[in-house]
Structure 1
Amino acid sequence: MRILIIEDEARLASFVRQGLSQAGHVADVADNGATGLEMAAATPYDAILLDLMLPGQNGFEVLRNLREFGLRAPVIILSALSGTEHVIRGLDAGAVDYLRKPFEFDELLARLRAVQRTAGAAAEAPVLRLADLELDLVHRRVSRAGQVLSLTNREFALLELLRQAGRVVTKTRMAEKVWDVDFDMGSNVIEVHLSQLRRKIDRAFPTLPPLLETVVGHGYRLRDPAQV
């Protein structure tokens, strides 16, 4: 998942971002509501973590503006305001969940998984399939021909993006969804990760048809052998 953290407490924002990265997510940080709105409008985030006590416009105002701008990313409020009235107000304003500070990071991850399952149920099954390749989005497990593969978090995210897209995915799109906003498009990091991914899902199975295809001048896609 690509997640936006709108939080003005620098230490907490850094802690959450680092934890999300270690869990295989990509996280960006905005330290005020106005910047958060700009980032949310520019990037299609899978979820937004929103503090309420922000400088300038508060979290309730940010949430209202998100909805008025037509930005539908699910919002989880993270706030030290623990009164029931704040929870009700936040949920009524359009947030999908409310987590009181201080919180256990594992609980935050669990709530993000719930958001992902809800989004997956609306779009596709939690297990994505292509030929004999399977991606279990809930348990973050990949297998081909019944053999479980060992993928890094980035490799899994790239494979998930390619499978869900169902078409050619450009390097720019990969950078937006799998890397940070300050990703250097001049580097060969994406090619290196795709090469490793190809080695694991294709070259490791020489008797099976390859799935990862390079479309020269455009990007990459997963090819269904049955449709060739």
Structure 2
Amino acid sequence: MVFQGCVGRKGAGMYSVCGVLMQLKLEPLVELACGQIYGFEVLSYPAYDADVHVEAVFEEATPLELWRALDVQINELRAFTANGFNDIFFFINVDSRFFLMPGFARILMNKVKGLSVALELSAPIGNDPVSMANYHALKNDGIAFWLDDYNGTIKDLDFSWDGVKLDKYFFWRHRDGDTSIRDYCDFMRVIFGDRLKLICEGIERESDVSSAMSLSARFGQGFNFETIYFK
């Protein structure tokens, strides 16, 4: 792959969530047919304690801690794109509670101006007026919305997603012979039509590439592709 080792300044991207010091990493999302990078997902990893469960830490975080983490992520992306990658999507996880904040869209649009950004959410946002106003403002500004870690919950598809990321364990069921996963993917195409973009998480070996493509997934993400760590 193109990337080797680590990038960034010493201490780049460090921030604290629930008392745990975190750093950033970028996992490439790769076009399966040709191996070209489509985008990077911005993720966190523990700076010192490898045994920390990152998702559990973020589930306990306050909105203020999550906002500070998001601010660090965007600042580091700006520094990273100074070296290129201006035309590549960056996938950023956001908490749905942010959409309840009046003015969230305006603040975020100012922060990511000039970056190609997709927001990942674990479920649809609420249909209250404030959330919808933020959603439409961001969509009109060209920001994409992706459903993250999809595991077969039908109600999570009840939203105008630009793309869906299959949870790695869900995808591995298909890899291991569960034919029902193909039915879910076919159902998504009925809902979203040709505009649906599908990413399979958990691409960890070469055979996973063909398995994902058999679901008509265009993109993949996982240990089979080299991660960039901010140090």
Larger Rg: 1
TM-score class normalised by the smaller sequence? 0.3 to 0.5
Q: TM-score, length-normalised on structure 1?
A: 0.33
Write 1 or 2 for the structure with the bigger share of helix.
Answer: 1
Q: Between Structure 1 and Structure 2, which shows a larger proportion of strand residues?
A: 2
Q: Which has the higher contact order (CA 8 A, sep 6+)?
A: 2
